[in-house]
Structures are given as structure tokens and as C-alpha cells.
Amino acid sequence: MPHPTLPLGLRRALCLAAAALSSLSQAAPTVSRLTPPSELFTSGQPAPVIARFLPGQRFDLQATLRPDAGQRIVSARFSIDGVPVNAPTALHECGTACIKGVPAEAAIATVRALSVSRPGLHQFEVQATQGDRQTVSARGNFEVLPYAPGAGPKVRNLIILLGDGLGIAQRTAARVVRGGYAQGKVIEPLAMDSFPATAFVKTASLDSIVTDSSPGMTAYVLGNKNNNNEEGVFPDDTLDAFDNPRIEYLAEFLHRTQGKALGLVTTAEVFDATPAGNAVHTSNRSAGTGIVDQFFDDRHLTGLSVLMGGGRRWFLPAGTPGSTRAERNDYAFSTTEPHTADLVKRWGAAPGRVDLQRDLLADFQQAGFAYAPDKSTLDAIDPRRADKLLGLFNLSNMNVALDKIDGRRARQHGLTEPSVVDDHGFPDQPMLDEMAAKALAVLQRQSKGFVLMIEGASIDKQAHAMDTERWLLETLEFDRAVKVAQDFAREHGDTLVIVTADHECSGAALIGGSRVSDAELQALAQAGGSENLRDKVVGTYGQAGFPRYTIAADGYPASTNIDRRMLIGYGANADRYEDWRTNPRPLREGGHPFVKQEPLASYPATPMARDADGRYLVTGQVRGTAAAHTGADVPLSAFGPGAWQFVGVIDNTDVFFRLAQAAVQGPPAGPGASSVKPRRRAGP
Ligand SMILES: [Zn+2]
């Protein structure tokens, strides 16, 4: 308001002018989204800094611009620290291609594949003009983190072991089963427990305290938070799941700058969030067809040389029995729309194609990948002759360790009754440690080193199912893969290994132990009800004692149905019936193309379809049929040069910068640096 001592006429004139100005400013276009995400844009606060990059790491700038009614955005330009960016700005109107709530006349301005080499906090700005020359500008910030001077040689190989859903309770429970306790002391520690450095990791994603597996993985290999269900991208306002603003992955950065190769090994389908969250850029983690195509099409960007897991259904031409390739989840970039054309031009990404009939298995093989459909073939592949490897051991997720081991033992004993792996059609699947060993044997030949991600996927999937013994054995299988990686790092001193999780799953709690023998437990389950299955069984504190599992020569419990077994509860559970005994069959595998046919059709569909005879209903706080992820921190343990960087309570995005530091500059000097030296160094 004008000052009250001014003459009335002048005050009125000034008021009118102010009103005119404010109506003019209302008539300006607005910026409703600015990427990379920042608090400076969202709340006006310069901290915390949300987006952080390595010097030279590539990323996209983007803004959603909304013109006034009847207007169009005619131009937009970005600047960083006041200097116009030296790259073309693509401007495209939404039309019908944007999400609900974003008007058709909104325009999206995008600059692809920028990078900033100067460390420090940077401000960036978008300025846009609509047809009547009204303008708008908005600012955000991001940080480029400097490297510390390297105090040792550069680390050549990075191995990331990702136990999906592997929280502290899962890790402890696996130790109880595998290691055993004597008067409170562990008899044989897990391999991951022998790593010298351990940190707590904060796991929140860009849009939630509870992450799913996509941003849970990508934070480690992007240095940035993604939204749930999104991988390798920042969120945007378009419907296209493959056109989002990209961030360069660790593997892409190290392949581009150092020529390193990438290996991805999982027990899930290979298109699943964790493996894809190392190499594929999409806002839809479920886009199976496009994701597997992009693995192959963009291998020149990622250095992808080893890909192993399940998910063969996406690689088979549509119409082949078992194929689930679908048009709606494929990808194809318009080369006439500048913002997608720039993905091809500036990132060097493949344009993609909607190609249901594509024989992706043949494409991989023609590109020099040795292909293994089962363990026997995998074993027969000579790593001295193969420098690229594709293994697809199931149509959907691989069967879990418990069922694979059961199948192996049944065959050893000459049993003819079909086991779970037979029912799924894949009796000869490798264990994760066997896949890890072969991956390392192949990748070892890479002259510039490699990034290898090894995922124990069904720790999470079986925790969702609240199938205790299945995630327990899955964790033991994962730890055997940890041992393989650790042994490799001992042999090759230039290898840094981390073992961690993307998030906890199910709120698993080590309640204690059963107070009864397995025979008594079966009798109590017949009698049924909580008065029997809870009150007479669940032993807490001193009644739990030390459950003692016998480990067979194959490394897994001879039986999980032991007397006085360990008991696990769930804090993020859906309703389930519980009788504590090992479920003879897993829940129905939803992704299996033949799940509606026998024998899979008669597998239990939900945790309410198991153990119902015991009538002990454990109600949950989570609706639906699956336990949920939780927001608790997860442990991360590290081994090899640079391991000591992984201590304290750190953000999941911090991990990326420490891995990159080790690979680009060598581990920095620091406490404990000498105590984690490998036994001997490889090479000349
Ligand atoms: Zn999960």
C-alpha cells in the first residue's frame, strides 16, 4: 500500500497502478515443475540440496510451463549460474500426452544430457515467454560433489550385492539358522558379517519414507532419489514412461569415461526393478517389453556384458508359448518430437521400436552373447571363450533357494514325484552363488574392469508372502554369493564389494523360538486356534533358547522343520494363517505365463490359503494379501579398498559418490584404510 501521508489523489493513482501490475503478474505463465528437483523451487529454501551429481555426470533439465488461457508458450531457455546452457531446448506441448491435471496447452521444455564439471552448489533457471510476450522464470539448485584426492590406486571392479528386502532382522535370522549359537556366541558367522566396515543406510525415495525396489536400487547407482516405481529418471508430467528426464547411471558413467563393463545377476526376472535400476531409464518399472529391449539396445551406453536371472517370457516373440511381450509396455521414441529425438541425438540412446515379434534371444546371441537356458548349459560355458553372457533360467522369477535345493535333493535321492521346480517347468536352475561365480569368471576378462550387481531378489518376494523359511534360505543363498564375491576380492585386490539392501520388507521380527518339538507342533496345529498355536508354542526371552539347525553338505538346513524352531513375526503384515511349519509349496507365481494351468493353478494364491486348518489367524495392519516394505534403515557392509568409507548413518545416495570416488580417484585417505587391505594384489 502507498504511504498514508501521501496526497489522496496520488495514493489512489498508485493503488490503481499496483492493481494493474498485480493483474498483469496474474496474467503471466507459470512453472509447475522444474527438474532436477530442488527445495529452492519447491519451498524457496536453498537446503537441503536434493539433486547431486559427479563432475561430468550427465543429466537432463526440464520445466513444465503453463501459459494463460488462450496463450501458448513460444520460447523457453535454461541457464546455469546465469550462463545460458550450451545445448538445444526442446519445447513440446502436452496435447493429450500429459498426466491428469496438466492442461493440453502446457508446454514442456527439455535440455538433454548436460553435465557440469565444476564442483559446488549451482543455481539453474528457466525463463519462458508466452505469445503475448509475458514471461516467467523459476530457479532451482543442485550440487556437484568434488572428489577427494585418492590415497591409493583406483579400484578397478565394483561389486554391489543387493539383498532385496534384507533388513537387520532378516540378516540376524539367517545367521541364527546358518551359523548357530553356543552360549550366546555365533559359531560360524555369515560371510557378510565378516566385512570390516558397516553403515546404516537411510532408504527414503523422492516421494516417500517407504521406498519400493526401483528408487531403492537407483539411489546407489545414480546418486539421486527417484520416485517410487521409477528408475534412472526424474518424474515428469508426460504419460510416456520412457521419455522422462534421465540421470546417468554409475555403469553408464564408468563405461563412457573408463570403458568398464556391466554385469547384472538376479534371481528375479531380469526386467525387475533392481536389475533394471542399473541400466534402464523408465518411469514404469513394470514395462517388461521395453525394459528388456532397452537392456540390449542401449548396451553400448551401459557396457552390459552379463545378464542373468529369470524373465525369459519377455525375450520370446509374441505368439511363442510363454511369451508376454506386449505393445503397451514397449518403447519407441518419436524422432520428430525434439524432446525424444534428443534422447537419441544427445544421449546416444537407441530409438526403440514397437516390435512384438522381436526375437530378443536371437538378438543377444547374434551380438556375441553366450546363452544359457539352464544350469547345465551355464556350467558348460567356458569363460575363456565367452566375454558376454545371457542366462534366462525361468519364464518368470526363478524358483527360490528352498525349492531349488529341494529339487536337487529329490533328484539325488532318485525321487520321481515332481517337485516345485518341476511344476514350474525348470528343474535345472542354478543357485545365485553359481551364477555369481560364472559372472565373475566372464567379467574378469574385461580389461578396464567392471561393475557387477548381484541381487538376492526373493528375500523380499518371500517376505511379502510372509513365507519365513523361503526368505531365510534365500538369505543363505545370497550370503553364499557374498562369499563368492568376497573370495574374488581377496584374489583381486582392486575390487570393492558392498553388500546391502534397498529397503526392509515385512517388518520381520525375530520373536524367539518354538517351545515344542515338530511332532508336538503338528499335533497343536491339528487342535488349532491361537490357544494352541500361539499360547503353547511361542517362546520368548529365555524360552526361545538357541534354535539349532543342522546344515547339510549343500550349505542349507537338512530340514527346516526342526524341534524348537526359530519363530518370526511380521510388523507390516497382511492377514495370514500361521502354523509355523514350513509351507510345502510357495505362493502362486503371478508372473508365470502358465499360472492358470495345472499344476500351478492349484498352488495357494494368498497367505490366507495356507495353514488354514490350524485356524490361527494373525490379522495385519496392511490390507490386501502381502506384507509391505518398511521405512527402517538397512545395514550396508563393505570389503576391499575404500571399504572404510561406508561407516556411520548415511543416505542411500551417498553410496554412489563413495563408489565413484573409489573407481575414479582411488579411495581417499581415512581411518582404517590400512586395516581392510586385501590379502594380496593381483596383476603384474
Ligand atoms: Zn518388495
pLDDT tens column, 504-543: 999 999 999 999 999 999 999 999 999 999 999 999 999 9
Say whether pLDDT at 684 is over 50: no
Say whether pLDDT at 645 is over 90: yes
Which tens digits make up the pLDDT trace of 81-101?
999 999 999 999 999 999 999
C-beta atoms surrounding 294 within 10 Å = 27
- Residue 12 confidence class, pLDDT cut points 50, 70, 90: low
Ligand 1 centre distance from Cα of residue 629 (Å): 6
Which tens digits make up the pLDDT trace of 215-259?
999 999 999 999 999 999 999 999 999 999 999 999 999 999 999
Ligand 1 centre distance from Cα of residue 273 (Å): 10
Ligand 1 centre distance from Cα of residue 581 (Å): 23
- Residue 334 confidence class, pLDDT cut points 50, 70, 90: confident
Which of the 8 DSSP states describes residue 422?
H
Q: Which residues pair with 636 in a beta bridge?
A: 199
- Tell me the average pLDDT across 316-341: 94
Percent of the residues in the chain that have a pLDDT greater than 70, as a whole number: 94
User: Which secondary structure element, helix H or strand E, spans residue 389, and what is its range?
Assistant: strand 389-392
Specify burial of residue 74 (Cβ count, 10 A radius: 0-12, 13-18, 19+): middle
Ligand 1 centre distance from Cα of residue 630 (Å): 10
Residue with cell 552390459: 304
Q: Please provide residue 482's backbone torsions phi and psi, each rounded to the nearest 5 degrees.
A: -60, -45
Supply the mean pLDDT for the chain.
Answer: 94
C-beta atoms surrounding 483 within 10 Å = 17
Ligand 1 centre distance from Cα of residue 212 (Å): 6
Say whether pLDDT at 678 is over 50: no
**SS3 state of residue 17:** helix
DSSP characters over 195-206: -SEEEEEE---S
pTM: 0.94
The sign of the CA dihedral 292, 297, 299, 302 is negative
Query: What does the alpha-carbon distance between residue 120 and residue 143 come to, in Å, rounded to a whole number?
Result: 6
Q: Helices marked H in 348-399 — which ranges?
A: 360-366, 375-380
Ligand 1 centre distance from Cα of residue 461 (Å): 6
Which of the 8 DSSP states describes residue 98?
B
DSSP characters over 49-97: ---EE-TT--EEEEEEEEPPTT--EEEEEEEETTEE-SSPPEEEE-TTS
- Specify whether the CB–CB gap between 28 and 134 falls below 8 A: yes
Residue with cell 495353514: 611
CA distances from 378 to 59, 373, 403, 436, 443 (A): 37, 8, 19, 11, 15
- Residue 677 confidence class, pLDDT cut points 50, 70, 90: very low
- Specify whether the CB–CB gap between 616 and 557 falls below 8 A: no
- Tell me the average pLDDT across 471-498: 98
pLDDT value for 681: 44
Ligand 1 centre distance from Cα of residue 84 (Å): 43
- Residue 670 confidence class, pLDDT cut points 50, 70, 90: confident
pLDDT value for 244: 98
Ligand 1 centre distance from Cα of residue 214 (Å): 10
Ligand 1 centre distance from Cα of residue 165 (Å): 6
pLDDT value for 369: 98
Ligand 1 centre distance from Cα of residue 457 (Å): 9
HSE-up of residue 227 (Cα within 13 Å, Cβ side): 19
Ligand 1 centre distance from Cα of residue 195 (Å): 25
- Specify whether the CB–CB gap between 473 and 557 falls below 8 A: yes
Ligand 1 centre distance from Cα of residue 462 (Å): 9
Say whether pLDDT at 683 is over 70: no
Q: Please provide residue 597's backbone torsions phi and psi, each rounded to the nearest 5 degrees.
A: -105, 155
Ligand 1 centre distance from Cα of residue 438 (Å): 27
- Tell me the average pLDDT across 436-443: 98
pLDDT value for 213: 97
- Specify whether the CB–CB gap between 153 and 95 falls below 8 A: no
Q: Which has the closest alpha carbon to 482: 193, 109, 128?
A: 193
Query: What does the alpha-carbon distance between residue 616 and residue 632 come to, in Å, rounded to a whole number?
Result: 28
Say whether pLDDT at 5 is over 80: no
- Tell me the average pLDDT across 5-19: 53
Ligand 1 centre distance from Cα of residue 139 (Å): 36
Query: What does the alpha-carbon distance between residue 538 and residue 437 come to, in Å, rounded to a whole number?
Result: 40
Ligand 1 centre distance from Cα of residue 504 (Å): 8
Ligand 1 centre distance from Cα of residue 200 (Å): 19
- Tell me the average pLDDT across 329-344: 93
Burial annotation 523-551 (CB, 10 A radius, 16+ → b, else e)? ebbeebebebbeebbbbeeeebeebbbee
Query: Of 371-385, 389-403, 663-677, which range is least confident?
Result: 663-677
CA distances from 175 to 178, 193, 408, 448, 645 (A): 5, 9, 23, 36, 25
Ligand 1 centre distance from Cα of residue 164 (Å): 7
How many Å separate Cα 529 from the centre of its chain?
A: 39
Say whether pLDDT at 675 is over 70: no
- Specify whether the CB–CB gap between 258 and 663 falls below 8 A: yes
Determine if the peptide bond prior to 599 is cis (ω within 30°): yes
Ligand 1 centre distance from Cα of residue 460 (Å): 5
Ligand 1 centre distance from Cα of residue 505 (Å): 6
